[in-house]
Structure 1
Amino acid sequence: MMKSEENDCTSEKVELQTLNTGDTFKVAGYEWIVLNQFKVLKTCFCIMKDFLGDTKPFDTYCNRWEPSRLRHDLKYIECEIEDNCHHDVLQYMERNLMALDGTMANEISIDKVSLLTLDEYRLYREYLEYPTKFPGHIEWVLLTAVSEENRSAICAVDTCGVVKQCYCAESFNIRPVCTFRSDVLVERVHS
């Protein structure tokens, strides 16, 4: 095999449910990594492989997800995916908003596009390398607030995979998560 052939990525159309954890696929111009297949619910939990093109703050003053500027900004990803697929392919997912210190334990949010929680990051960490397309030392933000009392601190992951506490108004790299219907046709990416 020639070197140029080795570096070419090939793709094929498959149902999402045929992919395994860690597999990569493409929808609406974005590459996604399968994190979990929920066979009973017929859904697939996925994260964007790379960061969005622009860094963004979580919010100006507050680490709470529901009123955050970032939550509002990410709605365009939902529109892009569903416009590209011509039908309702994203499922609502219940997001646990418990803070790092255990406050906000009973708070949830229902979203189609969100971020990983700290617990999910720990669970799926082996599939989540820091994308090489985006050089620099900017953390990528998680959904988990540090504390209800300290409303300006949010959890983020640095380039080495270490979870840090950061000021929510900083610029972060963003890796959205979505739950897709598992019967949707996607482009499987082989590298």
Structure 2
Amino acid sequence: MTLDKDDIYDIAKAVVKVIEDKDMIKSEENDHASKKVELRSLKTGDVFKAAGYEWIVLNQRIWSQTCFCIMKDFLDDTKPFDEHCNIWKSSSLRQHLQSIRYKIEGNRHDVLQYMERGLLALDGTMANETSSDKVSLLTLDEYRLYRKYLEYPTKFPGNIEWVLLTAVSEENRSAICAVDACGAVKQCYCAKSFNIRPVCTFRSDVLVEKVSD
């Protein structure tokens, strides 16, 4: 088959287009990589992306080289804390959050650090009980401490409370603390459906994508 000048010209244009497209993709990949920063470089209140979610920096713990963070929005589905009891260690929600842990860590099991979580109840019972987790919830004291960074996510309409780690009492195993859309702390039945906002402690040297202000 003999190619005329027009055929040769069209083939040449197609080759040039392929090369340009590859260069553009490579440039976009390099631009994306250049946006990665070490988590330690962010300050309290900054937002970054990890594992398909956006997270808010709550506390840079310099001495342990870790960063305490909370998911900016809620998880997609509401969940009960547990059907029967406000004990975090045996709760169905604790088990459910393991899937988030595996999604964040992937093949790198050092991305998240274990956190010792105090299970002190609202009425002062359970004072000596703790739990060690890589994915957890805010305690009531932490909510009070970081409240100014914790608006109710506007992309989730409605008045469904988001659940905290803090039980109301050891004597009343059906009640758990939660935050309503106005920011007020409420006592709720642990088997109702809650919005879920996980917290994690990341290694401060992991590379993340900072979200612009």
TM-score interval, smaller chain: over 0.9
- Whole-Å Cα distance in 2 between the matches of residues 76 and 133 of structure 1? 23
Q: Which residue of 1 aligns with 2:18?
A: none
Q: Which runs of 4+ in 1 moved over 4 A?
A: none
SS for the counterpart of 1:91 is coil
Give the superposition deviation at 1:88: 1.9
Q: Which residue of 1 aligns with 2:179?
A: 157
Q: Which residue of 1 aligns with 2:80?
A: 57
String of CA shifts for 1:135-183, please: whole Å, max 9, x gaps.
0110000000000000000000000000000000000000000000000
- Whole-Å Cα distance in 1 between the matches of residues 80 and 41 of structure 2? 36
Judging by fraction of residues, say which structure has more strand.
Answer: 1
Aligned partner of 2:129: which letter? E
Q: Which residue of 2 aligns with 1:16?
A: 39
- Whole-Å Cα distance in 2 between the matches of residues 157 and 146 of structure 1? 13
String of CA shifts for 1:101-151, please: whole Å, max 9, x gaps.
000000000000000000000000000000011101100000000000000
Unaligned runs of 5+ in 2: 1-31
RMSD of aligned residue pairs (Cα, Å): 1.2
Q: Number of residues paired by the alignment?
A: 181
> What is the TM-score when the length of structure 1 is the normalising length?
0.93
Aligned partner of 2:97: which letter? L
- Whole-Å Cα distance in 2 between the matches of residues 87 and 24 of structure 1? 22
Give the superposition deviation at 1:12: 2.0
Q: Which residue of 1 aligns with 2:15?
A: none
- Whole-Å Cα distance in 1 between the matches of residues 165 and 68 of structure 2? 15
Are 1:32 and 2:48 matched, yes or no? no
Are 1:142 and 2:156 matched, yes or no? no
| Identical-pair percentage | 77
Which residue among 74, 82, 97 is the counterpart of 2:119?
97
Higher relative contact order (CA 8 A, sep 6+): 1
Judging by fraction of residues, say which structure has more helix.
Answer: 2
Unaligned runs of 5+ in 1: 1-9
Contact 1:21 1:37 in 2 (8 A): yes
Which residue among 96, 120, 138 is the counterpart of 1:73?
96
> What is the TM-score when the length of structure 2 is the normalising length?
0.83
Give the superposition deviation at 1:86: 3.7
Give the superposition deviation at 1:87: 4.6
